[in-house]
Structure 1
Amino acid sequence: MQDNISQCQEILSLFLPLDEVTIARIVGVIVRTQSDDKSVHSKLLADLCGNNTSEDLSQMTEWDADTLIYATKQLAPELNWVTIMENLDHEGFYIPNEAAFYFLMSVYKHASQGHFPLRAICGSIWKNAEGQISLLKYAVSAPPEVFTFAHSGRQLSVLQAYVGVVNDHKVQIEHANHAWLCLDLLEVLCQLAERDHASSTASNLLQQEVSSAVIPILLQNADASGMIVHLWHVNPNILLRGLVDAMSTDPKIMSRFLAACQEIKFGITILSPILDMIPYPFGVRFAALASCKGLIDLEKWLSSNLNAYKDAFYEECIEFLKEVHLAAQVVTSNHFCSPNALRTIYLETSSTFLKVPF
């Protein structure tokens, strides 16, 4: 341990006097080298050391957080680690994997007793936007003991009202680190999407996280219909993705969504394109439920889709009918099995499916 600290101090001495910008770049290099790409290691070390030889700095890739922080504080005890985190926005900074993110969080935890400064990563768009996205990608899904947004000064109040009790039941938020209650995070993600970063893999993953986590909570909100329609016009893909993810885990989401659509004039207008755009397994069930509420003509919708999509749609309809009738047989044969309201609705619509010429 002592040998590692001595080596670390010796190498850090090459960069004296140490300031926040320099340490941010050093931390960025060590974080990036948590990947297995040795070519990246060599380039980053060469860029960092300038006229020095990269060979002298190769040991940096082996430092742990405790060693780095101890050696740094010996050489520059007055460094402001909040400022260091704010200076991670530099060329070359990138979080290649979860291990790299955990290493960065460990560095800050060893250096400072306070919460990670959220303004450093979601206070504004970085010049190195890809680096920012790579960091946010892991931050939003991290367990709260590793990273949390709970100390954000700007919480999304429209969701907070439904984090407590809804219909006398606790609403469980999937992401306990409060990422999707942080207004600054949501705003910076929207800004990144507007700046042509929405096509990147990391950004798409973030959008999926947003839709999967936020939309089910929105549908608990009695006043959610206006927000749903607004989201449809702003970014329909996020709405569709969140809706499908929610339905796959909780079929009752369909009823809540339809109820929200019924509440306002324009809500019904988005139902038809949504039915056309979501995958068949969800579309068929969604249409069946919507027809029971008088929102669509199921027979007409089935005929139209059969003409358009032929065998693929036909096979899904057959699977739906098999599933519905099998569930009905289970309920009939088992007196201890109570009928499911949604299954009952599906069973009622099965006669309409059988009317359509397959």
Structure 2
Amino acid sequence: MKQRQSRGLGIAIVAVSFLMALLVGAVMLLIQGQNPAEVYYYLLIEPLSKPSNLVKVLGKATPLIFAGLASALAFRCNVFNIGVEGQLYLGGLTAAYLGCALTGLPHWLHILICIVGAMIAGALCAWIPAILKVKLGVHEVISTIMLNYVVSSVVSLIVVKYFRNPGQTARTPYVEESARLFQFKPPEHLNTGLILAVLLCLAAWVVFNRTSFGWQVDAAGRNLEAARYSGIPAGRLVIVTMMLSGAVAGLVGMERVLGAYGYMEVNFSPGYGFDGITIAMIAGNHPIGVLVTALLLGLMSYGGVNINIMTSVPTEWVNVLTGLVFAFVVVGNTVLGRWKISLPAIGRRRKEGTA
């Protein structure tokens, strides 16, 4: 019962935060001499008015689902994987190489090898900061941020120097057709990666709510030290969750390479890894919440292009609105946490006063 109430409060906080962000955003637009109703129409309603627009929204949301789930998997164990950006680049490079180098394979087998390869690459990249945390006590925030720059730079060097397609654009050659994910409506980016992302969110929900491993992760997320003293193998749990997080991060790059583009371009990510952190925080690290939040941000991402075309409001204004939602969610969760702590204390003091 308490868990349901807490979940309901979390959903209410997100909903109120979104409405508050829209209200503050409307005030900002009015100050700039814009019509908030017109801007919000092109941002949130017009993208859903046509099937072709909906395809574009889902195409933008797909990598955000993977990135948000990757961050949430680590955050639930109270481990902060800020290295999703680097891990997705390594996963993308691995998928691009396997997609180009392997020939003559059945379609299903080639795609499976590329997916597994991308997941292994991302998991190994996340294994480094996990080992440093468990064995040497190095904080994962520092190590993952450092690895982001190292990995992205090394990947760019490999693409430019050793795996470059002839031409002005710094990118790899096209992968084999047998390695391509099915595209629902070419040339749009929507592909079967969306189905995989949704299935992973559902699988994560089952694991966290129906298995002992999920219970251990949640226990460690509440208090890692207490979990360790209660007999839960906290060190191993940190390594496993970080590697799972890195594996899902690798799928971001895989989906872009095999599904959206057919090749890997240097700096192809506009910041999916950091968007994933925002999504996980807004969703409260809940897999279904990640799915819904990523779809909302995908809608706003495509709507941002709309408002730039149809009004004089720049696309970057969407980042302001997303930041407002994030800020209100953080404030709401902080107030809720203090309320949960103070309410029992007030009750005890009242009982003591009446005794």
Question: Under TM normalisation by the shorter chain, which class is it?
Answer: under 0.3
Bigger fraction of residues in helix: 2
State the structure with more CA Rg: 1
TM-score, with structure 1 as normaliser? 0.22
- TM-score scaled to structure 2, two decimals? 0.22
Structure of greater relative contact order (alpha carbons < 8 Å, 6+ residues apart): 2
